[in-house]
Amino acid sequence: MQSHQKYFPTFNQKKEVTNEFLIVANKKDTKGLIKIGNERVVEARLSDAEFFWNKDKTQNLVKKVSELRLINFFKGLGTYFDKVQRMRKLGGMISDELLISKEKVELSASICKTDLTSDLVGEFPELQGVMGGYFSSHQGFDKDISLALTEQYLPIGLNSKIPRKPFSVTLSITDKIDTLVGFFGINEKPTSSKDPFALRRLALGIIRTIIENKKDLKVKDLLDYSESLYQEQGHSFSNKVLKDELNNFLKDRFKYYLKEKNIRYDIIDAIISSFTLNKLFSSFEKAQSINKIINSQIGYDITASYKRASNILDNEMKNKEIDITNTTDPGIFKTEFEKNLLKKIDEIKKYYSNIDDDENYEQSLSILAGAKKEVFEFFDNVKVNEENEDLRKNRLELINMLCKTFKNFMNFQLLKTNNE
């Protein structure tokens, strides 16, 4: 109705579609002929759909899997049957991470493209995935599987709905990673002006699904495994720098996502400098947390402490006359300020050694900001460029330890202060 006939459907209070619709005409319909004519068009389309539905709904989806051998996925990437076999194994890897049933994941991957063989999707191709969900539900498949089939192509844009249920998330990401690796493998990549296979949207879909479900996935490992699955099937890739290009492509899409979320440009640069695909959600959380406090006193204390230390260290190390070994000798400290700074560094290091994947980033930033007193007292009262070579080296080691401790969170050197 909407795409072909340009009609406006109507919905009830439960947001369910009704059997009434609106049309726009440039003349009065005094005899009702325009109304009758348009109703006939819709009735004919719905009649076709009903016929195909009644024919397709009883055809066993598991038995239809073999028919996918007759449908090419893309030249050089095999058939849709090849694709779902890869997706089964790739989905199994994700199921281990999400701690969900591998059997259900493999089943949903096996049948997820079978609706492509149906007459209904042949007539209405925009319903692929959606009809798979209806067919599987009608045939008594688990609700999680039916929903996964329905949502496998989500999200379709920056602000569209994303899959939320674990099995839907798994199938959606599995499908997108398989496609992304395949097309990059045969060098069918987006250019600056063209993206005929919507690979940018696909990559953004992976990023959105992971971040907005607040769960890190080992994307890098999934990309590597996906490539090996293609090789197992005998598909050879012409792209010899596949891993690097995929990493850079997804990094670029992640930067775009951060920009759309109004993360400051220098924070984006700092996050990207230590970026890993296996920590997409964590990286986003870090970016959000520092973006929130960057203009506050906490933000100032962190950047001022780090930059004061980092700038002095860089300046002293220009000539590379001293070999930094990441160890300092408290036995030759001459002031309490050195001892206090080492104590504060040890406190921060202990904090980071006791946290795991559920780091509270606001707490981390507060702890880093709390080092300002010791850092400023050290630099205000201790001469770093000491004539005594051992004392000079020891103090540079201490400053280096401080900078490395801060870098547990991110590279603060890339952040801009108010006067930069």
Residues of the chain with pLDDT under 50: none
Instruction: Of 355, 380, 362, 386, give the one whose Cα is nearest residue 304.
Output: 380
Q: How far is CA 19 from CA 1, 388, 420, in A?
A: 11, 89, 62
The two structure tokens encoding residue 383 = 């001469």
Q: What is the pLDDT of residue 299?
A: 92
Domain boundaries, the chain: 8-56, 61-260, 292-414
One-letter amino acid at 6 equals: K
What's the confidence (pLDDT) of residue 418? Answer: 61
Q: In whole angstroms, what is the distance from residue 71 CA to residue 58 CA?
A: 21
Rounded to whole angstroms, the Cα distance separating 397 from 392 reads 9
Which pLDDT value is given to residue 377?
A: 96
Class level of CATH domain 292-414? mainly alpha
CATH for 61-260 is 1.10.3210
At 314 the pLDDT is 87
Q: Distance from CA of residue 411 to its chain's centroid?
A: 21
Residues 388/382, Cβ–Cβ less than 8 Å: no
